[in-house]
Amino acid sequence: MDTADYGKLFDLTGKNAVVVGGGSGIGRACAHGLAAYGATVTVADRDLAGAQETVSMAAGSTTMQARELDVLDDDQVAAAVADLPDTDVLVFTAATNVRKRILDYSPDEFDRVIALNLRSSFALVQGFGRGMVERGRGSIIGFASMRANVVEPGQSVYAATKSGLVQLLRTAAAEFGPSGVRANAIAPGVVDTPLTAQIKANQGWYDAYAAKGALGRWAEPKELAGAAVYLASDAASFVTGSVLYVDGGWTAVDGRFEPPN
Q: Which residues are catalytic?
A: 158
8 Å CB contact between 67 and 42 = yes
Residue 255 counted as domain residue: no
- pTM for this model (two decimals): 0.94
Distance of CA 39 to the CA centre of its chain: 17
Residue 167 counted as domain residue: yes
Report how far residue 195's alpha carbon sits from residue 175's, in angstroms, rounded to the nearest whole number: 32
The string of pLDDT tens digits covering residues 192-203 is 987 787 888 889
CB proximity list for 109: less than 8 A, separation 6 or greater: 98, 100, 157
Residue 2 counted as domain residue: no
What pLDDT score was predicted for residue 159?
98
Residue 212 counted as domain residue: yes
> What CATH number corresponds to the domain at position 113?
3.40.50.720
Beta carbons within 10 angstroms of residue 256's beta carbon: 8
The string of pLDDT tens digits covering residues 159-179 is 999 999 999 999 999 999 999
Q: Tell me the one-letter amino acid at 160.
A: A
Ranges of residues in the chain whose predicted pLDDT is under 50 = 1
Residue 99 counted as domain residue: yes
Report how far residue 43's alpha carbon sits from residue 28's, in angstroms, rounded to the nearest whole number: 8
Looking at the structure of the chain, the number of domains it has is 1
8 Å CB contact between 109 and 100 = yes
Q: Residue 108 belongs to what domain range?
A: 12-243
What pLDDT score was predicted for residue 1?
46
CB proximity list for 43: less than 8 A, separation 6 or greater: 19, 22, 23, 27, 28, 31, 51, 54, 55, 64, 65, 66, 67
